[in-house]
Structure formats: C-alpha cells, structure tokens
Structure 1
Amino acid sequence: MTAASQSARPVRLSDVAERTPLVATTTSPDANTVYEQLRKRWGSIAPIDLEPGVPGWLVLGHSAAVGLLRDDHTFIKDPSIWNGHGKGLLGPGSGLHLVLAQAPKPTLADADGAKHARLRPPVDDALEQVDEARAGAITRRLCGMLIDRFEDRGRADLVAEYAAVVPFLVLSELDGLEPGQAQRLQEITRAIFEAGADARALTDELREIVTGHIALSRERGTRDIAGVLAVHPNFENDLERAQTLTAITAAATESLMAWVAQTLVIILSDPRFSHRVSGGRLHIDDALDEVLWRSTTNPNLMPRFAVRDVVLDGKLIERGDPVVVAVHAANHDPLVQSSDPWDTVGNRAYLSFGAGAHRCPAPRLGRVVARIAVAELLKRLQLTLTTDPNRVEWATSPWMRFPARLPVTFPSPRRQPAYGTWDTDPDEDDDAGWAADR
C-alpha cells in the first residue's frame, strides 16, 4: 500500500486524548451511527481503543479496507511486533492477551508470508474434501435434536440453546470428534476466552485433547477434516496440526453462531423479510446476505500490525500500531453502497468473508450450515420474538456482533402442526442440489 502524501502534520495515536471504544461499534443498537460519527470526524481511518487505554486504528473506508487486507507486506497478522509490549497496557483480566500475545503462535490466523503460504493449503484441502450434502444432512439431524429438547416447553433462547450450539456440533462431527470430546472442547474454549491471561492450564488441556485426536485420526486413516490435516506434509509437527484444527473449529463456530442468530433477528423482527420469507417470495439466502450487508457477523477483523511507519488519510500509522478493518463500515461506505436497500438482495459483493491471503476458506460450506439451521427452525416452530427488536442486547465482543439472548415463544406441538406456515424453500429437493446450484 502506497503512503499518501500529506501537507499537514499527520495525526498520531498519541495525539488523541479521547478515543471511541471499539466495543461501541458492536454493542450499539445502531452500529451505523457509531461508524458514521467516526467517519465524519476522522475520514476513512479513525483512532479507537481496543480496550480502555489500548489504542489502535479503525479502517472505515471500503477502498482503504481492501487495500490493507491485500497488503500483507506492510500490515501483518503477527502480534509480536505490537508496539505496546512492555508498556503495561493490558490488565490481568484483559481479553486481549490472546489477541496481542508476544510469543509466536503456530497458527494460520497469525501467520504471514512464507509461513502462511505453507499453512493455508492444508486448510483448503481439508475443507474442500467435505461433502456438502453430508454436511447438510449432519446439520439437519443435529438441528432436529436440539429443537426436540425445547419444543415442548413453548419457549427458548435461540442463542444459548440453538445458534451457539449447532455450528460447534456440526464442525465437531466434520472434525471426527466423539460427542464427549466435542462437549469438553466447547467448555474449554469458552473458559479460555473468559479466563483471559489465566488460561494456561486450560490451553494445555485443549492442546492435549486435539493433538491426541490428530494422532488417532492418522492411525485410523480417517478422511474427515482432522484426518486430512493429520497426514498433510506441509505441517512441521502435530502442534501445528492441532492449532490449525482448533482455529478452524473456533472461527467457524463463532462466525456461524453470529450469522444464524442475526438472520433469525431479521426474519422475526423486520416485516420486509418476515412476510416475504414466510410467503416464499424471498429465499433464506436473501436474509443471510442481508445480515452480511447490514450488520455483518464479524464487523471488526482481528488487528493487523504495521511493519513500518506509513501515512494514510492524514494519519501516521507507526510501526507496531494495531490496525483493525471495520468490515461493517466498509460495506456501508457511501462511495460503494447504494441508497436502495433492495439492491443488496442477491448481491454478494460485501467484504464479510474478508479479502486477500486471509480470506475465509469455506464460505460455501458455511452458507450450507447457516441456511439449514435457520430453515429447520422455521419449519418446525412458529416463532414469536418476545423482546422489542429495538432493545435487543448485543454481546460485548469487539470483534463479533450477535444478540446476547434471543428469547422466543411458540405454540406447543400438541396444538400446532410441526410444519406450519413457514415455506422457507418451496423449490427445495435436497441440499446437494442447492449446493451445486450456488
């Protein structure tokens, strides 16, 4: 990325006394308002706080976002060059210890250059061999199992009891994990993020479980995701294989959870979609795309770090400064966004799957899982959202946007047919045909 020449003295992070917290962009009822206020004041790049007292830059413009994501020579994923190391910026309970770790991590998400070029092909190979029809059948079966657990109750929290569970169970089965292993890994993963800096013992246990599963998959010669990673020659050791399997599962689970939950919010609360989806005039895919345009499941990507000083849009991004791409803001950039909201229906030109070397490796597979998860729920239950859509409480993650809770009620199946008024896909024959058409 070429540095822009500026006539005035460029702004440094240290020049800005009060910075907007990054979490304000994900927890606000109207995220667009927050991004637009930043855009009006600062232009395409704004100073923010990743956490209180931890400064960084937020890229708001579409062109700047695409350029940065594709420039992996100037902006890299390796947090060891963060210029905040040694300054005592992170408290013991900070949620950024894993994000800004100084010690090198053998993970694809933090790899750059030759290392990334070595670690990315195994991920692509492992995900490409997943049969989408089988993934669809697994998703449908697991969705039915989860719905069975709460349908007699007449009420549920669709985040905790459904959207947060379906993706993990599906990915775990595609990984070849046993149910007991999958449950324990989910418990550990949640605990690690809650524990922050005090997660060493949990991390050791997670590594032991996943490394053991990799070794067993190699011994058995399985052709699931773990089995492909277990024998791929690009890895130097089983630690890299285990870290990669863990990263695939965690990233897919979090993103799909947010995608499913937000799509349900739109369908259950927005008349533009609720009436048209239930009447068969819009496909669930249209609602899925609307989420990726309007609200974006990963609104702020994990930070990149500048390898040298560079001036962009009048801001001096110094070596080691963390730079966060605001995908949500880029999707809503007035320079690329139409004023007609229906222009986004069927349009998949959003940045929600990223760009450049770290682009999402399996958007098709993710769509299969998300689509079926939403469709199965709407087919089985006649749902009513029991909270004001304008008062939905959003989770406090600075990276993800999803409702903390999604309470619904529905008639008991004893009084309501299992398959009611939602005709989510009148032309659907099977998941294999759907996948092949897209």
Structure 2
Amino acid sequence: MTWPRGADERGTVTARPPSDPLIRLRDVTHRTLLVETTAASDANEVYERLRLQWGSVAPVDLEPGVPAWLVLGHDEAVGVLRDDRTFIKDPSIWHGHAENLLGPQSALHLVLPRAPKPTLADADGAKHARMRPPVDDALSQVDEARAAAITRRLCGMLIDRFEDRGRADLVAEYAAVVPFLALSELDGLEPGQAQRLQEITRAIFESGAAARERTVELLEIVTEHIAHSRRLGTRDIAGVLAVHDNFESDLERAQTLTAITLAANEALLAWIAQTLALVLSDPRFSNRVSGGRLHIDDALDEVLWRSTTNPNLMPRFATREVVIGDKLIERGAAVVVGVHAANHDPLVQSADPWDTVGNRAYLSFGAGPHRCPAPRLGRVIARIAVAELLQRLQVTLVGDPDKVEWATSPWMRFPARLPVTFPPPVSPPAPGAWPPGPAEFAH
C-alpha cells in the first residue's frame, strides 16, 4: 500500500512503481543507535549523515537489536504526526512483542509496554478525543501571571541555595528542579509531595525495567491527590481533572496528570538547560542577549530551531503497510519522528540564521492531535527561569564549551551537567560605613 499526500512535486511521500525495490527494516543489518543523535556533541552531523545515506526516512535501533524507522524529512514528519489513523500511539501492535525483542533489563519497557497506559499521551482516535478536552480545560484556566510569580519565587529560592557557594551545576541544581516544582505547585501538590514525586521520578528513569515497581507508589500519591482535590473543590490543574466527566476513572485522571507533568518537566528541563548552555558557550549569542539585541524569547526560539529539546518523539506504530520514498513501513513497525532533523530539513531551513529569529514554524511542539497542549505556559516558565539566573548571577562555564557532555536519553537533548562559577554576593556595608545612606545625604 502507498501513502499519497499530494507531495509528488517535492519528492517527499510518493507512490513508487511495483518494479522498484523497497527497503524493509528487517533487511537492514547495520543500524545507527538512536541515542547517537542526542548524545553527540554535534547532533546535526549525525542527522545529516543519516539523511545523506537514507533520505527522508532512516533505519535506527532504539536499543541494540530493537529496530525502528526515524523520519528525517519535514513534510514526512508532519504527515506522520497528523495521520493518527495510520500511525498510532498504542504499542500493543508493535511487532517486537511477538518477536520478544526486549530483554528483561531493557529500559524500553516503559516506552513499549504490551498494553497502552490509560493516559492521554498513549491514546488514539475516539479515546484521545475524549481525554484531550479535560487537559486543555485544565491548562487553559492556569493564570499565567500566577505561574510567572510561582516560577520567579522558586528560581529565587534555588539560587539562594548556591549563590554564596560561588559555583553550581545548573542542570542538577536548577534546570531539573525549577519546572518540576513549578508544575507541581500548579497541580496543587504540597512541597513534600512534590519532593517525593521528584525522587520517585528520578528513580524510575534510572532503574530501567525495575521502574514498573516504583510507578505503583507514584500512582498512589497522585490518585490520592486527585481525590483530595475533588473533596476540596480546588481550581488547580488536578482539581479540574478531578471533576471532568470525560474521564472514566481516577486511574485515568492520575495517569494523565502524571504524564502531562512529567512530559512537561522533561521538555522544560531540556529547554532551560540548553538555553543556558548556549548563552554560556557562544559569545556571540551571549553578547546579543546581554546587550539587549536579542530578547530572551528569541533566545528560546533559537534553541528550538538550532538544537531542539525533544529531538526524537516517542514511537508511533504503523497500523498498515505504507510507503515513504523507497522505504516500506510494515504494519507494527515503530516510527520515530526526528523533530531536530525535520527542523533542519534543507527543504524548509533557510541558510540565513537570522531567518529563525521570531520564526516559530518549528516542529518542537509537535503537530496533529498530540501537539503540546500548553506551549504558552511552558514558555512562561522557561523564560523566567533563564532570565532570573542571567540577571542575578554573572556565571562562567567551567571547562571547554566544545566538550559539554550531553545526557544519554534517546528522546531528549540537554547537557548532562553544566558546572559554572560566579562571583559570590557582595556583603552589605556595616552600619555607618561608606557609602552613606539616604538619611545621611539628607543632612
């Protein structure tokens, strides 16, 4: 079967004559590991190498021996994201289950479960149409001014913790903490609950296959919070989800609240950390920001264009055979949309870097039914987190900027650590010391 989208004039997704050979995933023996695209010092080099070798769709391994298709072309990526009947989020149809491709210690068990979780992120069709409105309703009622005030307060609190020290890791001590605490407060969680959830979440991502055991405690906390919010009649995110009739159970509500919070946290962590890394490692960028010639929003946009926080989206699965270029996407195949590669597709990317300033035509917030539900709220949190740190501290990156170590997640791209130093705060003068205060000038 073919997948016509009327794009023949650009050579993107086309029907091919039956006589032309089609490339099948099973026939490719040497595949690039997906994590190479995110952990490389130059992600563009890896994506472009794949594009030159394979065209708009390339074979990759999610883990050694776990194959998937990686979509590199912009038009092809948009087509996959919008076609939620051909490419679905339900992993139960993935052919790898029948072939037992995942070993007992595989970290992909959470990404490729045998059955979909009852959450918006993994829903398709009518189920997704039922579960998306509650999330949109809950996020649309968030007061952006309140979200900004919460974020600013939390940023100040975190900076207070390391300001006197004169050094910090801006990933572990700042970028990884600000969004989680801000989102948790907007969810209506108490500080103690938020801290415990962050500890569990970190353990889940670090424990691979054993993570399923830790999700039990996480769901218990969130489910109880949903019920508590309903009893109190709160109007925070959890309170809106708690009373929305579109959900069939509190399990759906808890799973959805957890999923949107964790997904937003990961994306914001990467967005904040990458922006700070770019400002600290690129003098031209830093000078433009500090000199007022480039607004923080423009800096955030340049990160989404230039590097992308979520370079590879979680897999979708083909419900039928389709052809993209010379690749045969078989039913049950995992298909990963390479957002970074799509943003850098030569067919849509200008050679002039200034064309990206103020241009938000990137795919970093997704497209189609699963598009990010709260890009404005995310921007508020990221903007304040970056601005507060840059305005308050004169930070200098420790080490060679060209040797920043990137996290080994195949889905997100951010520095594994960002060690910086900065001058400690100047102690206030003792009473009576120079310079004189306003009262002394009055005399």
Check whether TM > 0.5: yes
| Residue identity opposite 2:55 in structure 1 | G
Pair 1:4-2:28 in alignment: no
How many corresponding residue pairs? 417
Q: CA RMSD in A?
A: 1.2
**Residue identity in the other structure for 1:273:** F
What are the residue-to-residue correspondences of 1:152-301 with 2, within 5 Å? 152-301=164-313
Please say if 1:357 is aligned against 2:378.
no
Task: Give the Cα separation in 2 of the matches to 1:91 and 1:190.
Answer: 22
Within 5 A, what are the aligned runs for 1:12-27?
Answer: 12-27=24-39
Cα deviations by residue, 1:234-293 (Å, 9 ceiling, x for unpaired): 000100000011011101100000000000011111122100111111101111001000
Q: What is the alpha-carbon distance in structure 1 between the residues aligned to residue 288 and residue 70 of structure 2?
A: 36
SS of the residue corresponding to residue 354 of structure 1 reads: coil
Structure 1 contact 289–345 (Cα < 8 Å) conserved: yes
Q: Distance in 1 between matches of 2:241 and 2:171?
A: 31
> Which segment is superposed worse, 6-15 or 311-320?
6-15
Structure 2 letter corresponding to 1:82: W
Find the residue that maps to 1:85 and give its secondary structure.
helix
Alignment partner for residue 413 of structure 1, among 401, 406, 425?
425
Question: Match of 2:59, SS?
Answer: strand
Q: Partners in 2 of 1:412 and 1:271 — Cα distance?
A: 22
Which secondary structure state, in structure 1, belongs to the residue aligned with residue 394 of structure 2? coil
Deviations 1:284-304 (A, max 9, x none): 111100100000000000011
Equivalent residue number for residue 438 of structure 2: none
Indicate the SS of the match to 2:97: coil
Superposed, 1:305-384 pairs within 5 Å as: 305-384=317-396
- The answer to whether 1:98 aligns with 2:77 is no
Look at both structures and tell me which one has the larger radius of gyration over its CA atoms: 2
Aligned mate of 2:92, from 80, 100, 103: 80
SS at structure 1 position matched to 2:410:
coil
Deviation, 1:389, is 1.4
| Identical counterparts, % of pairs | 80
Q: Which runs of 5+ in 1 are unaligned?
A: 418-438
Q: Secondary structure at the match of 2:61?
A: strand
| Counterpart residue identity of residue 201, structure 2 | T
Distance 1:56 1:96 in 2: 13
Residue 427 (structure 1) aligns with? none
**In 2, distance between residues paired with 1:269 and 1:73?**
43
The DSSP-based 3-state class of the residue aligned with 1:57 is strand
Q: Distance in 2 between matches of 1:233 and 1:23?
A: 40
Q: How far is the alpha carbon of 1:90 from its aligned partner?
A: 1.2
Deviation string for 1:324-360 (max 9, x for gaps)? 0000000000000000111111111100000000000
Measured in 2, the distance between the counterparts of 1:40 and 1:169 equals 42
Give the letter aligned to residue 419 of structure 2: P
2:172 paired with 1:133: no
CA distance in 2, matches of 1:272, 1:56: 38
TM-score normalized by the length of structure 2:
0.93
**Contact kept? 2:186, 2:236, Cα under 8 Å:** yes
Residue 116 of structure 1 aligns with an amino acid whose one-letter code is H
SS of 1:99's partner is coil
Question: Any conservation in 1 of the 2:116–2:123 contact (CA below 8 Å)?
Answer: no
CA distance in 2, matches of 1:189, 1:86: 29
CA contact (8 A) 1:163 1:260 kept: yes
| Aligned 1:398-437 pairs, distance under 5 A | 398-414=410-426
Return the letter of the residue paired with 2:15: S
Find the counterpart in structure 2 of residue 436 from structure 1: none
Q: Residue type of the partner of 1:189? A: T
Point out where structure 2 has 5 or more consecutive residues left out of the alignment: 5-12, 430-443
- CA distance in 2: counterparts of 1:26 and 1:415, whole angstroms: 42
**How many Å apart are 1:200 and its aligned residue?**
3.1
Shift of 1:105: 1.2
8 A Cα contact 1:93 1:195, kept in partner: no
Partner-residue secondary structure (3-state), 1:96? helix
Cα 1:67–1:214, aligned 2, differ >3 Å: closer, same or farther? same
* 1:35-72 deviation digits (Å, cap 9, x = unpaired): 00100111000000011000000000001001110001
Residue 416 (structure 1) shift: 10
Secondary structure of 1:49's partner?
Answer: strand
What residue identity is the alignment partner of 2:384?
Answer: I
Secondary structure, aligned partner of 2:96: coil
Deviations 1:185-226 (A, max 9, x none): 111111112222222331111111100000000000000000
Deviates more, 1:161-170 or 1:407-416: 407-416
Residue 52 of structure 1 is matched in structure 2 by 64
- The residue type paired with residue 48 of structure 2 is E
**Aligned with 2:130 (options 112, 115, 118):** 118
Aligned-partner residue type, residue 120 of structure 1: R
| 1:415 shift after superposition | 6.8
1:115 CA displacement: 0.2
Q: Do 2:110 and 2:212's aligned partners in 1 also have CA atoms closer than 8 Å?
A: no
What SS class does the counterpart of residue 58 from structure 2 fall into? strand
- Structure-2 separation of matches of 1:235 and 1:358: 18
Q: 1:46 to 1:416 in 2, by over 3 A?
A: farther
Whole-angstrom CA distance in 2 between matches of 1:20 and 1:80:
25
